[in-house]
């Protein structure tokens, strides 16, 4: 679809004739006015909208005075459902994929459908728009030059810690989605595995009770233990692991303890001793010991 940049006040949907294809349309994560003009044009112009829940998307459509045929496409959709969407598009129709809120495919359904559409040579158009990751990163006050999005952390502690171990040495800021009831236990696991890093909890972004808390993980945990679980939707942003930020244990930084141990012990033994003394993950301490000994 070509956008007409000459139109001065595109307050109402432009009358667009859409090419057959799959359109990935982001919807607001709270504030309805975050729907873009282009998203409005597409929703007004497509032949069919596929969505997680027709009631949720129905409300959005109603808010913008739109009415379109809708069909469910969600995490339970299968090969047959995808084949149906592909067939509809192959026959010349334009289809918009939306999720309940935010950008489709980002911890939401759509990846398999897009992959299938690409294989079938169908044109796929992705619109930029509302999403919870980027505003959380922007508001976190943590470095935004390089970051990794982890998606939702696993619900159980064992798999959660195993997953976090894999991200331990990843450079840059880490971002994950979390639910309010699981937040405290998750933060405890994050601290256990990644250390007491600087972090931010971005809650209810773009909504009335939007709030961002920026503290070290230990302080955020303390607050939750005192005040109970928060309400609403949450993004957790975690600062990078920096050797110079290493936690102090008994008044000494881990780095100092390692340097002292390395004077008399091998890298492996020094790491084992300091990991045992501080309760920090062995692998991380070993990597730091390697670095400090110049063997990394
Ligand atoms: N596709 C969406 C996006 O682009 O952000 C995310 C969908 S995912 C199923 C829902 C999760 O996104 C929530 O559990 C929460 O972690 C995060 N989220 C969505 N809206 C949010 C908001 N307004 N404030 C904070 N986090 C939000």
CA distance 51 to 98: 5
Instruction: Examine the fold and report which residue of 73, 97, 126 is the final residue of a domain before the chain moves on.
Output: 126
Identify the CATH number of the domain in which residue 232 sits. Answer: 3.30.950.10
Look at residue 277 in the predicted model and tell me its pLDDT.
Answer: 65
27 phi, psi to nearest 5 deg = -120, 160
Q: Does the CB atom of residue 99 touch ligand 1 within 6 A? A: yes
Question: Of 224, 240, 256, which residue sits at a domain end?
Answer: 240
pTM of the complete model: 0.81
CB 51 within 8 A of CB 59: no
Ligand 1 near 108 CB (within 6 A): yes
pLDDT at 293: 85
Q: What one-character-per-residue DSSP string does 231-278 give?
A: PSEEEEEEPPP-GGGPPEETTEEHHHHHHHHHTTS-HHHHHHHHHHHH
Classify 58 as helix, strand or coil.
helix
Q: Total structural domains in the chain? A: 3
In terms of domains, do 119 and 191 share one? no
Q: Whose CA is nearest to atom 13 of ligand 1?
A: 233
How far is residue 106's CA from residue 266's CA, in Å, rounded to a whole number?
45
Given this model, what pLDDT does residue 248 score? 47
| Domain span holding position 80 | 21-126
Q: At 221, is the secondary structure helix, strand, or coil?
A: helix
Contact 261, 272 (CB under 8 A): no
Q: Are residues 109 and 190 in the same domain?
A: no
Same structural domain, 264 and 228 = no
The verdict on the CB of residue 36 being under 6 Å from ligand 1 is no
pLDDT digits over 143-190, tens only? 999 999 999 999 999 999 999 999 999 999 999 999 999 999 999 999
Q: Which of 99, 103, 201, 233 to mutate to test the pocket of ligand 1 (most atoms within 8 A of CB)?
A: 233
The token pair at 26 is 């982001």
Q: How far apart are CA 259 and CA 274, in angstroms?
A: 10
Ligand 1 pocket member 140 (CB < 6 A): no
CA of 201 to the centre of ligand 1 (A): 13
pLDDT in tens, the chain (296 residues): 544 455 454 457 777 789 999 999 999 999 999 999 999 999 999 999 999 999 999 999 999 999 999 999 999 999 999 999 999 999 999 999 999 999 999 999 999 999 999 999 999 999 999 999 999 999 999 999 999 999 999 999 999 999 999 999 999 999 999 999 999 999 999 999 999 999 999 999 999 999 999 999 999 999 999 999 999 999 999 999 774 444 444 446 788 788 888 888 888 888 887 776 666 777 888 888 888 888 76
Describe the chain by its helix, strand, coil percentages, rounded to 5. 40, 20, 40
| DSSP state letter for 99 | -
CA of 176 to the centre of ligand 1 (A): 10
**From ligand 1's centre to the CA of 131, what distance in Å?**
7
**Per-residue model confidence as pLDDT tens digits over 199-235:** 999 999 999 999 999 999 999 999 999 999 999 999 9
Quote the CA–CA distance of 109 and 77 in Å, as a whole number. 9
Report helix, strand or coil for 5. Answer: coil
Q: Is 254 found in the same domain as 225?
A: no
What pLDDT was estimated at residue 250? 43
**What atom in ligand 1 is closest to the CA of residue 207?**
23
List the residue whose alpha carbon is closest to atom 8 of ligand 1.
107
């Amino acid at each position: 679809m070509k956008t007409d940049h000459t139109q001065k006040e595109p307050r109402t949907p432009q009358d667009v004739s859409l090419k057959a294809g799959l359109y990935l349309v982001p919807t607001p994560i709270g504030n309805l006015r975050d729907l873009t003009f282009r998203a409005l044009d597409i929703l007004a112009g497509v032949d069919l909208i596929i969505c997680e829940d027709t009631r949720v998307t129905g409300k959005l459509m109603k808010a913008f005075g739109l009415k379109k045929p809708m069909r469910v496409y969600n995490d339970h959709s299968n090969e047959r459902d995808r084949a149906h969407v592909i067939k509809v598009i192959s026959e010349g129709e334009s289809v918009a994929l939306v999720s309940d809120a935010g950008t489709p495919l980002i911890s939401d359904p759509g990846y398999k459908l897009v992959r299938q559409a690409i294989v079938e040579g169908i044109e796929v158009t992705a619109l930029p728009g509302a999403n919870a990751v980027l505003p959380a990163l922007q508001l976190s006050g943590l470095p935004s030059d390089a970051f990794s999005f982890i998606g939702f952390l696993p619900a159980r502690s064992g798999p959660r810690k195993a997953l976090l171990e894999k991200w331990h040495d990843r450079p840059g800021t880490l971002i994950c989605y979390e639910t309010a009831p699981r937040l405290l236990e998750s933060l405890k696991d994050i601290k256990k595995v990644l250390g007491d890093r600087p972090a931010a909890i971005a809650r209810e972004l773009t909504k009335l009770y939007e709030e961002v808390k920026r503290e070290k993980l230990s302080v955020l945990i303390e607050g939750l233990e005192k005040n109970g679980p928060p309400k609403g939707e949450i993004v957790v942003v975690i600062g990078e692991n920096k050797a110079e930020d290493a936690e102090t244990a008994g008044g000494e930084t881990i780095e100092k303890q390692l340097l002292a141990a390395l004077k008399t012990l091998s890298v492996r033994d020094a790491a084992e001793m300091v990991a045992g003394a501080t309760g920090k993950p062995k692998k991380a301490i070993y990597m730091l010991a390697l670095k400090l000994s110049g063997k990394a």
